[in-house]
Every structure is written in structure tokens, then in C-alpha cells.
């Protein structure tokens, strides 16, 4: 599962990336600091089921801190967009090619309005972030429409004359974007084009289809970055009033809290709605002032927003559920005795057999049944999993 960071140049995508992954990638106050995509690991945060079971877990592929499980997800920060990117302007083609592999997209926006359309700094409040959101989404839609439109008349005739399913042909054409056929089928009908002959589709029809498909297959949320600046508040309110899925963010504040936590200055977990300076620490006036500003931001928005954005992408956009696979349903452990060693993020509606496939293809191939560790009951291959389930897979493959 991959989350992509997109947006126009110089809005703080790399700062957000650094705050989410704690990797040191270049960031500076000028356009196109990011040219090659940065790939790192961020973490979705959930309440760990260890507290419910009253066990001391020993995660192998994730982290559990104070009963909070942090599940790794891949995060890609790609080059910034400028108007005309779909036609190759700026680093447009490079951006869109890198972004295509993402399952969900976090659109980082300069909520303070201090960056122009080309990514150059301007006085805060002089630019409208709403126009940035519109142009980035339009560039993505136009890029997709360009792919769909290529040799459209030939594709449309084949769909009509040779009886081929249009959704299969379009899914094949869009295979590089990792868009499944069922999303294509849904978008055709949701856009009102299901009853219209493909040969009669206009350029506007194709663009409308791509808008619907992008919203379904590459869902966006807006990370309203630089939310700590005074000019951001009104813009964030305007985004929310427009019905956008918005998470106010202050990436630099998140980075500062993480660094201070690593140095032992304070206690803070990503996504917390507060932090606590350790009693033994003596802060200077500059440090106190900086932390007071962050405290005010958190009191206003509930957090710095970075962790909330990752969680929103995973659980609200992609509708994932966290499931714990184990080999011993009594001890909740693997063969080595590690308790609750792993947790997998699966799409809502996934089955016990789907979980087996994420552990190993052979487990799914030889699937016999599974055991729910809570009820100790056997469940079948088609049993739909719920968030927090702890599941043992029994497979012919695992029996050797």
C-alpha cells in the first residue's frame, strides 16, 4: 500500500515527508528542490489490541508504544506540479509517472497562501490555496484523459464491433496506474456514460469519466500545511465549507516535537493531542516560546496534523482494517514466541483467505480454515475480517 504526496512546488511536501518518516531529504524555500521521488516509511497509528487481551506484545514488523501500534506504510514524495504539467511543462510528466503507483494521494497545500502557482514565495495571504487544489486535481485528470483518449476511436470501435467489454479495455490501458477493472466499471456508470456508445463519447465525456475514476481509484485528501501561520485559518475554513476532506497540518512543528522527544526533552507520540516536557529538563526562553506556539496550534486543531493525514488516508480514503495474524491462537504468538508479532492493513471486506495471501501465497493456496483468537471458533475462507481481529491460518502448506 502506497501513499503519494502531491502538490505544486514549494508547499512543504518534503517537510511533511521528513516529519512523517524522519528521513532527512533536502527541503528549501525554492521550487523543484525535489526532483527524484523520495520513498520512505510512515506509520498508521491504531490502538493496539494488546491492551484488550492483557498481554505484553513483541512486534517484529511494526512498533507498539504505550498501547499504540504503528504500522508501516510506504510514502512517496514526488516532484511539484506547475500548470500545464499534463502537457509536459516543468517536471509534469515525471511527477505524474511517479504518482501513478500511489493507492491514495495526500495533496499538500500551502494553506497560508504564501506560494504562487510556480512555487515561488510571495507575501502570506496573497495567493488562494483553493485555486491550487483545483489546478493540481485538474492536471491529474487531464493526464489521465490523455491516456484514455489515445487512439480512442479505434478503442471505441473495437468495444462496439468486436463485443469486447469497454471496462476491460480501459483497465488494460490504465494498468500502469494500478486501477482495477471494477473501479473502471463503476466510473463508467457513475459518470452517466454506461448507456452511451463509446464511439459517441466526446472529449468532455472522457474528461468527466477520468474525474470520477480518479476520485474513486486515486482518492485525495488535502493536508493544509503551514496551518500555524495566521493567514491559514480562514483558508482552512473555506476548504472545509467547500466539502473537501481537509487535515490542518504544521509539518515543521511535528518535526520539532519528534526531535525533542528523541533527545529526551519531552514525551510525545505522533498524533498525540498534547506533549509533556520532562520535569528534569531546563528550557531556555526561545525553546519555551517555540513549544508554546506548538501547544497553541495543537489546542486549536487537535494535533500537528501529520499523523492524522496518514491515518485519514489509510482508514477514511482506503477503508483499511488492521488484522493480526498469529500461529498460536492461545498465546497469540508466532513460532518464536513473539506475541502479536505482526499486523496487516487490508481493504475493508477482506476475507480470512485474503489475510493468508498477505502472509504467503502458499498459505492461501492450501487454505483449510482459520481460527478467531477471541472466540476460538473456526472460520472459513470467505469469512469477512473486522478491524482488530486476531487470526490463526490453518493451511495444508503450513502442515508441510
pLDDT tens for residues 242-301?
999 999 999 999 999 999 998 999 999 999 999 999 998 999 999 999 999 999 999 999
Q: Do 216 and 235 reside in the same domain of the chain?
A: yes
Residue 208 and residue 245: Cα distance in Å, rounded?
21
Regarding whether 337 and 247 lie in a shared domain, the answer is no
Q: Are residues 314 and 337 in the same domain?
A: no
Least-confidence region, from 18-27, 73-82, 130-139, 337-346: 18-27
Q: Is residue 278 part of a domain?
A: yes
Given 318, 342, 375, the domain boundary residue is 318
Coil/strand/helix, residue 247: strand
CA atoms within 13 A on the CB side of 274: 2
CATH number where 99 lies: 3.40.50.300
> Are 312 and 327 found together in one domain?
no
State mean pLDDT over 349-375. 96
The per-residue pLDDT of the chain, averaged, comes to: 88
Q: Is residue 131 part of a domain?
A: yes
The answer on 377 and 282 residing in a single domain is no
Tell whether 136 and 247 lie within a shared domain. yes
pLDDT score at 35: 39
Q: Output the domain CATH number for residue 384.
A: 3.10.20.30
241 and 182, same domain (yes or no): yes
Range of the domain at 358: 321-395
∠ CA 235-32-145, nearest 5°, is 75
Q: Which of 268, 221, 218 shows the shortest CA–CA distance to 249?
A: 221
pLDDT score recorded for residue 92: 46
pTM: 0.88
Q: 307 and 325, same structural domain?
A: no
Judged against a pLDDT cut of 50, whether residue 90 lies above it is answered with: no
In a domain, 70, yes or no: no
Asked which of 299, 318, 337 is the last residue of a domain, the reply is: 318
306 and 368 assigned to the same domain? no
Q: How many domains does the chain have?
A: 2
Range in 85-89, 162-166, 335-339, 390-394 the model is least confident about = 85-89
The Cα 85–Cα 315 span in angstroms is: 30
Looking at the domain assignment, is residue 62 inside a domain? no
More confident residue, 26 or 368: 368
Question: Do 243 and 346 sit in the same domain of this protein?
Answer: no
Residue 363 lies in a domain: yes
For the beta carbon of residue 278, count every other beta carbon within 10 angstroms: 11
- Are residue 235 and residue 355 in the same domain, yes or no? no
Q: Do 202 and 347 have their domain in common?
A: no
Q: Measuring CA to CA, how many Å separate 182 from each of 155, 190, 353?
A: 19, 12, 20
User: Which of 318, 349, 375 is a domain's end point?
Assistant: 318
Confidence band, pLDDT 50/70/90 cuts, at residue 159? confident
pLDDT band at 91 (very low <50, low <70, confident <90, very high): very low
Amino acid at each position: 500500500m502506497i501513499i503519494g504526496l502531491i502538490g505544486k512546488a514549494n508547499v512543504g511536501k518534503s517537510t511533511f515527508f521528513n516529519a512523517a518518516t524522519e528521513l532527512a531529504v533536502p527541503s528549501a524555500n525554492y521550487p523543484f528542490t525535489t526532483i527524484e521521488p523520495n520513498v520512505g516509511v510512515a506509520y498508521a497509528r491504531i490502538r493496539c489490541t494488546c491492551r484488550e487481551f492483557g498481554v505484553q506484545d513483541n512486534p517484529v514488523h511494526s512498533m507498539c508504544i504505550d498501547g499504540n501500534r504503528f504500522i508501516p506504510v510506504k510514502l512517496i514524495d514526488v516532484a511539484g506540479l506547475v500548470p500545464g504539467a499534463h502537457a509536459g511543462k516543468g517536471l509534469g510528466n515525471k511527477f505524474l509517472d511517479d504518482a501513478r503507483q500511489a493507492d491514495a494521494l495526500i495533496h499538500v497545500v500551502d494553506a497560508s497562501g504564501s506560494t504562487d502557482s510556480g512555487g515561488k514565495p510571495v507575501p502570506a495571504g496573497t495567493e488562494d490555496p483553493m485555486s491550487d487544489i483545483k489546478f493540481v486535481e485538474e492536471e491529474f485528470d487531464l493526464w489521465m484523459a490523455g491516456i484514455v483518449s489515445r487512439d480512442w476511436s479505434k478503442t471505441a470501435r473495437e468495444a462496439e464491433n468486436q463485443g469486447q467489454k469497454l471496462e476491460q479495455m480501459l483497465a488494460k490501458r490504465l494498468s500502469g496506474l494500478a486501477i482495477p477493472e471494477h473501479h473502471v466499471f463503476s466510473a463508467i456508470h457513475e459518470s452517466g456514460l454506461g448507456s452511451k456508445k463509446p464511439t459517441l463519447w466526446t472529449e468532455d465525456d472522457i474528461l468527466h469519466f477520468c474525474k470520477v475514476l480518479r476520485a474513486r481509484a486515486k482518492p485525495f485528501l488535502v493536508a493544509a500545511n503551514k496551518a500555524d501561520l495566521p493567514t491559514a485559518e480562514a483558508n482552512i475554513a473555506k476548504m472545509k465549507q467547500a466539502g473537501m476532506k481537509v487535515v490542518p497540518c504544521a509539518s515543521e512543528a511535528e518535526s520539532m516535537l519528534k526531535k525533542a522527544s528523541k533527545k529526551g526533552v519531552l514525551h510525545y507520540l505522533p498524533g498525540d493531542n498534547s506533549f509533556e516536557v520532562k520535569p528534569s529538563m531546563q528550557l531556555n526562553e526561545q525553546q519555551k516560546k517555540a513549544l508554546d506556539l506548538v501547544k497553541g496550534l495543537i489546542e486549536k486543531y487537535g494535533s500537528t496534523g501529520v499523523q492524522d493525514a496518514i491515518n485519514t488516508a489509510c482508514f477514511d480514503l482506503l477503508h483499511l482494517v488492521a488484522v493480526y495474524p498469529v500461529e498460536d491462537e492461545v498465546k497469540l504468538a508466532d513460532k518464536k514466541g513473539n506475541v502479536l508479532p505482526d499486523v496487516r492493513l487490508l481493504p475493508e471486506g477482506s476475507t480470512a483467505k485474503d489475510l493468508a495471501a498477505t502472509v504467503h501465497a502458499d498459505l492461501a493456496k492450501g487454505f483449510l480454515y482459520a481460527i478467531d483468537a477471541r472466540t476460538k471458533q473456526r472460520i472459513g475462507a470467505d469469512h469477512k475480517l473486522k478491524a482488530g481481529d486476531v487470526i490463526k491460518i490453518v493451511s495444508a502448506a503450513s502442515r508441510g
